[in-house]
Chains A and B, each alone.
Chain A
Amino acid sequence: MTDYPADAILVLLETSPTGELAKSATGLLGAAALIGTPVALAVTAPGRGDAQALAEQAAAAGAERTLVVETDAVQTQLTVPQVDALAAAAGAVAPDAVLISNSIEGRDIAGRFAARTSAPIAVDAIGVSRDDEGVVARHSVYGGAYNLESAATFGPLVVTVRQGAIESRAEARPIALETLELQASGAEATTIESVEAIEEASSRPELRGATRVVSGGRGLGSAEKFALVEELADALGAAVGASRAAVDAGYIPANHQVGQTGVSVSPQLYIALGISGAIQHKAGMQTAKNIVAVNKDPDAPIFEVADFGVVGDVFTVVPQLISALAERKR
């Protein structure tokens, strides 16, 4: 096959546990379109009829064509089936770069693929561009304190792209589906014994990639009182976050933790309630466009990064804020 675009950017599509295209795909295809022609790859289980639907959704999000690998292994083996598929696709397409979501699954696939093909890897990119010499990845490191750029000395660059970091979207293209035969490497893989989808109980936006986030800290005092954070989040259509202290205290599950060791967010609006603002927390949120903080302690470090800070009791300030927002909607 020689008819792939000369400036092809191979994008690995992620799918949800039910086989739907994951939200990360639009950002990845958007990023790919900035630096070349997006060619998508989906790895899915056969017999579910996912291929056509995935190709349609990928085309709508800007894929010039969608390669689909169908294999049962994807349900029973960790990482290796996707790496085998990616190696086959990269061999056929000869892309200038390979873009993969910087999710847990994505990082594993990117790491194994880069090691297998001796390709340089750029992790957690927040942007991509192209100069005379090739593809450049942009990174924000040390909790947003530094901006870096990285590139390959030669050959394709494997890039994992931070979820929610790419705002650019690619134009829809006609659907072009192509099946690719899997060349199984036979590499020993971890066995997936069982999978359970983590159901979010609410219709709130996902924390990762959210445009608005309301987070609560130890200052909320208990799991019951943490409901106030959720109430404000719902009033703003925001995702719910938390500090590590709130997670450790059991107010909310760990997948809501924002910070160094949790999720890094860059929303338009970040509201910190009862969060002191330890460096580890700030590392995960200080790239937010607007930060609002409410805390009893006037010396709380969170105020050093807040655009608008209120020294006061969250249990009086926040209910007033919620009713003021409700008032406005009337």
Chain B
Amino acid sequence: MKIIVLVKEVPDTYGERKLDLETGLADRAASESVLDEISERALEVALAHAGSADGVEVVLLSMAPESAAATIRKGLAMGAASAVHIADPALAGADLGLTARTLAAAIRRTGFDLVITGNLSTDGSGGVLAAMLAELLEVPNATALSSVEITADSVSGTRSTDDRAMRVSAPLPAVISITEALPDARLPNFKGIMAAKKKPFETLTAADLGIEPQDLSVASSIMTAIAEKPPRTAGVKITDEGDGGTKIAEFLIENRLA
């Protein structure tokens, strides 16, 4: 069985994240880049299955600038067998449609039984890619899974939405996305880090996948405006001297909030 895990390099949320106001792209120099935590959890689901079943191959897939290679390698150090990195300057600023088409082409090229993604990245928070890939790959989508069971020919799990919890199952091949309810990822150890250096790491361009990034005949979504919001400023801060609760009540009443 071949499991492809989509991984994403994102700006670390522990720091300030910036967008370039000229291009609208993430300012990668402004903050530390890390492997998205939800990507790590997605990888953990695949690695846990690979550890409990025979003949499971885990492949990492990422579409990101060349500079993200080191971040993707972390996934190899954690235990994935190989990585496919689509790095092409022409894909910078790709909208969701182009991103999905490119990733789907790479997934087809690699071959797959199961694709695992995080439910929401911490930067774009789009949360639509798993469904888009499923449609393009003509397979079922089972998203937002908070538990996952994988067998030789199916995947099932629990899916909780705002107002209902359901049990779902799909035959393989399929695309699933997982939530942060799933376990934390294992840490790469020294042996893993050393082994990662020898693992296959393939770098592809859009052309390798038969994708034409500037194809104007395909409708796309474009950013038409960007502005930085002035940072929120602190208001009044008092130290409780026995009347803190009363003071809050006064603030609420004054501002017609209570």
Q: Mark A126-169, 1 if CB is under 8 A from B, else 0.
A: 00000000001000111111111111111101001000000000
- B26 → A minimal CB distance (Å): 9
Shortest B233–chain A CB gap in Å is: 8
Whether A4 sits at the interface, judged by CB under 8 Å, is no
Is A147 within 8 A of B227, CB to CB? Answer: yes
Task: Mark each residue of chain B from 145 to 188: 1 if its CB lies under 8 Å from any CB of chain A, else 0.
Answer: 00000000000100111111111111100100000110000000
A298 at the interface (CB under 8 A from B): yes
Q: How far is the CA of A169 from the CA of B133 in the complex (A)?
A: 34
Q: Are A311 and B237 in contact (CB under 8 A)?
A: yes
What's the minimum C-beta distance from B31 to chain A, rounded to whole angstroms?
Answer: 10
Contact residue among A141, A268, A320 (Cβ-Cβ distance under 8 Å from B245): A320
Q: Are B221 and A152 in contact (CB under 8 A)?
A: yes
B-binding segment of A46-54, A173-181, A195-203? A195-203
Q: Which A residues lie within 8 Å of B6 (CB)?
A: none
Number of interface residues of B (CB under 8 A): 87
A269, CB-defined interface residue at 8 Å = yes
Chain A residue with Cβ nearest B171: A188
Within 8 A of B (CB), among A278-330: 279-280, 283, 286, 290-292, 294, 298, 303-313, 316-325, 328
> Contacting chain A: which of B11-19, B71-79, B82-90, B195-203?
B11-19
> Assuming the A-B contacts A111-B130, A198-B163, A306-B234, are A150 and B13 also in contact, with contact meaning beta carbons closer than 8 angstroms in the complex?
no
User: Once the chains bind, are B131 and A79 in contact (CB under 8 Å)?
Assistant: yes
Residues of A within 8 A of B231 (CB): 145
B223 within 8 A of A: yes
**Chain A residues within an 8 Å CB radius of B168:** 78, 190-193
Please report the C-alpha to C-alpha distance between residue A322 and residue B170 in the assembled complex, in whole angstroms. 50
Q: In the complex the two chains form, is A114's CB within 8 Å of B246's CB? A: no
Closest chain B CB from A249 CB (angstroms):
15
Chain B 243-258 near chain A by CB (<8 Å), digits 1 or 0: 1111111011101011
The answer to whether B219 touches A152, judged by C-beta atoms less than 8 angstroms apart, is: yes
Is B239 a contact of A118 with CB atoms below 8 Å? no
The CA-CA distance from A190 to B249 in the complex, in Å, is 51
Contact A115 B235, beta carbon cutoff 8 Å: no
CA distance A309 to B224 in the complex (A): 38
A317 near B235: Cβ-Cβ < 8 Å: no
Pick from A114, A146, A208, A212: contact of B226, CB under 8 Å: A146
Residue of A nearest to B118 (CB): A261
Contact A193 B166 (CB under 8 A): yes
Inter-chain contact B249/A153, CB cutoff 8 Å: no
What separation, in Å, do the CA atoms of A53 and B76 have in the docked complex? 54
* Nearest Cβ on chain B to A225's Cβ, whole angstroms: 16
Query: Is there an interface contact between A149 and B224, defined as CB atoms closer than 8 Å?
Result: yes
Chain B facing A: main interface SS = mixed
**The residue from A78, A310, A328 contacting B247, defined by CB atoms under 8 A apart:** A310
A208 B219 Cβ-Cβ under 8 A? no
The interface residues of chain B lying within 8 Å CB-to-CB of A140 are 229
Cα distance, A191 to B167, chains bound together (Å): 9
A153 with B141: in contact, given A115-B135, A142-B17 (CB under 8 Å)?
Answer: no
The stretch from B47-55, B60-68, B106-114, B120-128 touching chain A is B120-128
Complex CA gap A195/B159 in Å reads: 9
The answer to whether the Cβ of A204 comes within 8 Å of any Cβ in the partner chain is no
A190 touches B229 (CB 8 A): no
Q: Is the CB of B245 within 8 A of A321?
A: yes
Q: Is the CB of A78 within 8 A of B142?
A: yes
Distance between Cα atoms of A2 and B170 in the complex (Å): 39
* Chain B residue with Cβ nearest A142: B17
Q: Specify which of A114, A146, A304 is in contact with B96 (CB 8 Å cutoff).
A: A114
Interfacial residues of chain A within 63-101, with CB under 8 A of chain B in the complex: 78-80, 83
Q: Check: B102 CB closer than 8 A to any chain A CB.
A: no
Contacts A78-B140, A303-B237, A328-B249; A310 near B244 (Cβ below 8 A): yes
In the complex, residue of chain B having the shortest beta-carbon distance to the beta carbon of A80: B140
Evaluate contact between B140 and A190: CB separation under 8 angstroms: yes
Interface of A with B (CB < 8 Å)?
Answer: 16-17, 22, 78-80, 83, 102-105, 107-112, 114-116, 118-124, 136, 140-155, 157, 160, 187-198, 206, 208, 212, 236, 254-255, 260-261, 268-269, 279-280, 283, 286, 290-292, 294, 298, 303-313, 316-325, 328
The contact sample of 11 A-B pairs, CB cut-off 8 A, is A108-B141, A112-B141, A114-B97, A123-B126, A148-B227, A151-B224, A153-B222, A190-B168, A193-B169, A261-B122, A308-B247
Closest 10 CB pairs of A and B: A320-B245, A312-B240, A111-B131, A111-B128, A324-B249, A321-B245, A120-B221, A307-B235, A115-B135, A149-B225
